[in-house]
Amino acid sequence: MPITAQQLLQILPNAGRNAGVFVPVLNTAMNRHGIVSVARAAAFIAQVGHESGQLRWVREIWGPTAQQAGYEGRADLGNTVKGDGSKYRGRGLIQVTGRANYAACGDALGLDLINKPELLELPQHAAMSAAWFWATRGLNTLSDQGEFVKITRRINGGTNGLVDRQALYEKALKVLA
């Protein structure tokens, strides 16, 4: 079920002109990764909308904050080389983070993200990486089951921004129905 720029703007009003940029690449990515029902699309758009500041950011804003400084040397993220924390900061519409995730995403998308992590900032790769992350984490199944909080935990590691995510989800369900 393709979404239109008008629908995207109804759900993510702060996206502005970016809605038109992202609609075609989101539709391609969603179709490729089975995000094709109202339940799946609503959950995906809500999560992507929150993670990207309503399609305004495709690269994590870097302080570094205490949390971001903690990316450095994190083996679970594959950040084993000095500087990996900043180099492999969150990018794409779901903020792929860490050397290991960049490597896996790059393999899946046929991109050299280890040497060119900034490729995830291009709209087509930002959207496709988000849909890849979604599909590989079993989030279509959780969407079908209405498990929105579990989806948030898989994306965020916790429930940061849950109120905003849920508000976007409710709006998306109405707009896409």
Which amino acid, residue 36? Answer: V
Give the list of residues 6+ apart from residue 91 with CB closer than 8 angstroms, or none: 58, 59, 60, 97, 117, 118, 120, 121, 126, 129
Determine which one of 51, 72, 118, 170 is catalytic: 51
Please give the DSSP secondary-structure letter assigned to residue 105: H
DSSP 126-164: HHHHHHHHHHHTTHHHHHHTT-HHHHHHHHHSS-TTHHH
Active site residue 51: yes
Q: Which residues participate in catalysis according to the annotation?
A: 51
